[in-house]
Amino acid sequence: MRSPFRSLLSALTQAAPAGLLTAGLLSAGLVAVASVALPAHAEEHAKPAPKAAAPAPAKPGAKSAKAKLMVGSPMTKVRFSEPAFPLTDDGTYRGYMDRILDEYGRRCVRQEQFGWEIAKDDQERLDYIFQGTMTNYGRIGYLLGEIHPKAVTDPETIAFLADREKKRFLLVWTPLETSVLFMMCETVDKAAKTEATPKTVQKK
């Protein structure tokens, strides 16, 4: 894989603004992981989806005094190779994942996103985080398949569909200059209804 630590903002501005990702990210200790290759995308994809207004960067003082690290994903029940910082979303992450899923006739119904702070050019630690986490998906029974959606315009961003127990998840890894973002969401068929809409009873 080519060094992932180049700016992805030109390709992913509407999906992962640098300020939104890096504000509040914390470092954590390394954990030994198994080997899963981090593939590279050689081909260029289609032009980005229509531009969306980028949210204002998070203010330095806005984060909590003691941010909580997560050892894994509550949604997918998978442990990370090392603890990650949970990120909030103002709609940009969801919008980006929905653009990807639209190509497969699916949409997000719930999501999570996490980040790790990584020293510039620390390829070894990036590999540890990615390899160990993806290996853990396989260990608990997820069937993983890499996808190449047109909405992903940068070759360093990697997307997967992960199936387990009749559920399908979208997993998206985006390395930035000094951090890595991991977005995921549970998906359903685009035509499926998540819950019944209550009917309004008209009084006579």
How do residues 113-137 score in pLDDT, each as one tens digit?
Answer: 999 999 998 999 999 999 999 999 9
In-domain check, residue 93 = yes
In-domain check, residue 57 = no
In-domain check, residue 131 = yes
In-domain check, residue 111 = yes
CA contacts within 13 A on the Cβ side of 167: 16
Nearest Cα residue to 85 out of 36, 127, 129: 129
In-domain check, residue 110 = yes
In-domain check, residue 19 = yes
Nearest Cα residue to 84 out of 31, 27, 157: 27
Overall average pLDDT of the 76-84 stretch:
97
**Three-state DSSP class for 194?**
coil
Number of domains in the chain: 1
Whole-number pLDDT of residue 192:
79
Range of the domain at 89: 9-27+68-189
How do residues 19-68 score in pLDDT, each as one tens digit?
Answer: 333 333 322 222 222 333 333 332 333 333 333 332 323 333 333 345 68
In-domain check, residue 37 = no
Q: Is the pLDDT of residue 80 over 60?
A: yes
In-domain check, residue 62 = no
